[in-house]
Amino acid sequence: MPDLELPAFLDADDHRKIKAVVQAALAAVDPEQAVRRVLRRDGNWLMIGDRQVDLDDVDRLLLVGVGKAALAMGCAAVEVLGERLSGGVLITKVINSELQVRLPASITVLEGDHPVPGERSISATQRLLGCLSGLTERDLVIGLISGGGSALLTWPVDGVTLEDMQTLTRQLLVSGATINELNAVRRRLDRVKGGGLARAAYPAAMYTLILSDVIGSPLEVIASGPTVEPADEGARPLEVLERYQLARELQPGILRALTREQNARDRSPDYLRTANYLVASNETAARAALAAGREQGFDSLLLTTYLEGEAREAGGILAGVLRQMAASGEPVRRPGLIVVGGETTVHVTGQGIGGRNLEVALGAVEKMSGLQKAVLVTLATDGEDGPTDAAGAVVTGETQAQARAAGLSIQQALMENDSYTFFARLGGLIRTGSTGTNVNDLAFLISL
C-alpha cells in the first residue's frame, strides 16, 4: 500500500483518523487481494468463483490481462496458478518493475497508451491476440480486466484508422461525456471490445476477473467489455455523439462503423465459453471506508456510490451536505463521516491543469466557506487525478479565506480548469502515488 500524503494544515489527530479511513478504502480494493478472494487452487482443482475446473482436463492454461491493475492482478494469479501456467500477456499503462520481477519469463508485459489509444496499444493488443491463436476446447484462459483497458486494448474495425479513434476519444473526453457513453461508442469501433477478446479465445473456455472502474459495475462497460457480449445498442452511439454535437464532424469510416449492422455471429453468445466475475468495485472501497470510520469513532454513513454529473456542481452539492451536517447534526452526528462514491465529468474549456476530483474539491470551496470543523476529501482511487501527480484535494471552511490571502480566484481557476494549481498553491493536494488499483472516485465528508 503506497504511503498517503495529506495536507500539513490538518490537526495531527484528525490527520491520523482521515488517513486511516482513506487507507482502508484503498486496501479493500488492492488488486492482489481481490484476485485471491475469487481465484484459488487445491492441487489439480482450480476454483474460480463458484466454478471448479479439473486441471487434468486442461492442456494449456494461459493468463491475459489489461488495465492499470493488470500487473498486480497478474502477480496474484501467477501465485495461484503456479507451474500449470503455460504463458500469457499483460498490458498496462506503466510497468511497475517491482511487480514485473515477480512474474515468470513466460508472461510478456507490455505498455499501451492511455487515456487516448496509440500505436503501442495496437501493437500490444496484437501480441495479446497472438497468444490466443490456435486454442482448442481443452485450453483454458484466465482473463484479468481493470480500469484503463478501453485505451490499452485497441484494434479498430476495418475502415476506422487509429487517428480517427484518437480524435474522437479526445473530443469525447473534453466534452464531459461519461465513461458509459464513451465506451458505448468505442465498442462499435473496435474489434476486441464488446466480447471481442472472448471471441478470440474461442473455442477455449475463458474465465475473467474484473476490477470495476464504472458506476454500478455493468460488466459490458468496464474496459468496454472485451469478454462480455453487449446488448443490442441500436443507434445509441450516434445519439451520444449528437448529444455532444460531434456527429457532424465524424470521419466517413467512423460513421459507417456506427451505422452498419453488426454481424449476426457477433451478437450471438452461443459460440462463447466464458464467465465473468466482479472482484472489487467502488462500493467495496466505500464500505471499507465506512467500517474504518466507525473504528475511528465517526458516526458513519454511505450516501451513494452513484455520484455523477459535472464535477464542480457535484462539489457544490457535497458542500451543501456538509452544511446540513454542521447545522443539524443530520444525517450523521458529530464526529461524522459520510462516504460518497462515483465518477463525475469535467467539461474542459480552459487551459489549466486538473482532474475531476480536484475540480469537485474546487467547486466546494466557496460553499464551504466559514464552516467550522468541516472537511471534504476527494480521492481518485488510482492515485492519478487527470494528468497530475495528485489523487485529490482537501477543503475546509478556511480554504476560501486562505485563497484570498494568497491572491487566488476560485472563479478564475474554475474558468481555466486549473484546480491543480489552485490547491498546489494552498498546500491542499493529496498524493498517494500510483495505488495499482482503480475503482472510480471517493469523497469523504467529515464533521469533526
**Secondary structure class of 322 (helix, strand, coil):** helix
For residues 358 and 392, is the Cβ–Cβ distance under 8 A? yes
For the chain (448 residues), the mean pLDDT of every run of 10, in chain order, is 63 90 96 97 95 96 96 97 97 94 97 94 97 96 95 94 90 86 88 93 96 93 90 70 87 84 47 87 98 97 96 98 94 95 94 97 97 95 93 95 97 97 95 90 96
pLDDT of res. 233: 55
**12-28+283-447 maps to CATH 3.40.1480.10:** yes
Question: How far is C-alpha 123 from the chain's CA centre?
Answer: 23
Question: How far is C-alpha 375 from the chain's CA centre?
Answer: 25
For residues 310 and 358, is the Cβ–Cβ distance under 8 A? no
Cell of 408: 487566488
**Secondary structure class of 447 (helix, strand, coil):** strand
**Before 156, cis peptide (omega within 30)?**
no
Query: In whole angstroms, what is the distance from residue 392 CA to residue 19 CA?
Result: 13
Query: In whole angstroms, what is the distance from residue 108 CA to residue 106 CA?
Result: 6
pLDDT of res. 1: 44
**Secondary structure class of 430 (helix, strand, coil):** strand
| CA angle (439, 269, 272) in 5-degree steps | 80
The CA–CA distances, whole Å, from 105 to 59, 102, 345 equal: 19, 10, 40
For residues 221 and 290, is the Cβ–Cβ distance under 8 A? no
Query: In whole angstroms, what is the distance from residue 189 CA to residue 165 CA?
Result: 8
Query: In whole angstroms, what is the distance from residue 32 CA to residue 73 CA?
Result: 5
Residue with cell 472485451: 226
E strand or H helix at 52, and its extent? strand 51-54
List all residues 6 or more positions away from 242 whose beta carbon is below 8 Å from its beta carbon.
none
Query: In whole angstroms, what is the distance from residue 440 CA to residue 215 CA?
Result: 7
* 307, amino acid identity: L
pLDDT of res. 231: 67
Nearest to 448 by CA among 293, 307, 312, 318: 293
Domain ranges of the chain: 12-28+283-447, 31-280
Which one is the CATH code of 31-280: 3.30.830.10, 3.40.50.10180, 3.90.25.10, 2.40.390.10? 3.40.50.10180
For residues 176 and 345, is the Cβ–Cβ distance under 8 A? yes
Q: How many CB atoms lie within 10 A of CB 174?
A: 14
pLDDT of res. 251: 86
